[in-house]
């Protein structure tokens, strides 16, 4: 169906992490917009009805490079937007606008405990890479939970970053379906199930840490409850839900 919607961006990169999971680059054809690490942009594609289908997506690229905006996206079966996106190829037009969101690093001097499920890793990558590029040192513990080992995007990059220093990053991946990842020797279980043990092992508590949560609402609710039980104030638990509880519409 013909439409007169003027797209303002183009797909500039597509890196498949695993089937149905990709790191996607979008170039803004209009003047690029500035953003703070942790914020999101809204991507849009015109569907068969001729209407623009839009979804908010966290930006994973560093805030100081707006030549391309990077996103970490999973194909949702039957999803109105992602099914359209997976039909596109590099060079195709797409709409992008932004930024929005208040999921930002707090300048509180505490250790940052990043807890991500699936594609919830995206804003944390932006935070880490932006701080690294600016030469800013933040003590970061990053927990990333996925179903399968091959879903651990940026794993090699993060492990190399952790080993090289001087940025004090501790990266911990966990796989919830280890029976499908026979070579996996790391932690197992959903990321919310390993959060308490990691806090205990690293001596992290309400006096020295702030928890940042991004991903599915069940994970966020579980870790939020854990933090409350351990005396974290509401200001020390920052949340970014990827969809309202009970609904997934990507």
Higher pLDDT, 17 or 180: 17
Q: Structural domains in the chain?
A: 9-100 (2.40.30.10), 111-241 (3.40.50.80)
Predicted TM-score (pTM) of this structure:
0.94
Q: How confident is the model at residue 250 (pLDDT cuts 50, 70, 90)?
A: low
- The pLDDT value recorded for residue 165 is 74
pLDDT digit string, tens, across residues 104-115: 999 999 999 999
Task: Render the chain in DSSP notation, one character per residue.
Answer: --------EEEEEEEEEETTEEEEEEEESSS-----TT-EEEEEEE-TTSPEEEEEEEB-S-TT--SSEEEEEEPPTT-TTHHHHTT--TT-EEEEEEEE-------SSSEEEEEEEGGGGHHHHHHHHHHHHTT----EEEEEEESSGGG-TTHHHHHHHHHH-SS-EEEEEEES-GGG-TT--SEES-HHHHHHHHHHHHT--TTTEEEEEEE-HHHHHHHHHHHHHTT--GGGEEEEESS-TT----
Higher pLDDT, 242 or 59: 59
């Amino acid at each position: 169906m013909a439409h007169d919607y003027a797209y303002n961006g183009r797909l500039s990169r597509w890196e498949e992490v695993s089937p149905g999971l990709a790191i996607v680059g979008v170039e803004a054809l209009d003047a690029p917009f500035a953003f703070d690490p942790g914020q999101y942009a809204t991507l849009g594609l015109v569907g068969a009805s001729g209407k623009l289908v839009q979804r908010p997506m966290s930006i994973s690229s560093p805030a100081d490079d707006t030549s391309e905006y990077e996103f970490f996206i999973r194909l949702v079966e039957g999803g109105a937007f992602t099914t359209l996106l997976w039909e596109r190829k590099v060079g195709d037009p797409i709409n992008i606008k932004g930024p929005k969101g208040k999921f930002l690093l707090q300048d509180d001097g505490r250790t940052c405990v990043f807890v991500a499920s699936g594609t919830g890793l995206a804003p944390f990558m932006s935070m880490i890479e932006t701080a690294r590029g600016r030469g800013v040192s933040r003590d970061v513990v990053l927990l990333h939970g996925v179903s399968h080992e091959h879903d651990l995007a940026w794993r090699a990059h993060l492990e190399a970053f952790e080993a090289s220093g001087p940025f004090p990053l501790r990266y911990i991946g966990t796989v919830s379906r280890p029976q499908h990842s026979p070579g996996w020797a790391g932690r197992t279980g959903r990321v919310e199930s390993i959060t308490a043990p990691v806090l205990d092992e690293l001596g992290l508590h309400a006096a020295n840490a702030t928890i940042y949560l991004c991903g599915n609402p069940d994970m966020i609710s579980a870790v939020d409850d854990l933090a409350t039980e351990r005396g974290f104030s509401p200001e020390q638990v920052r949340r970014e839900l990827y969809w309202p509880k009970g609904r997934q519409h990507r």
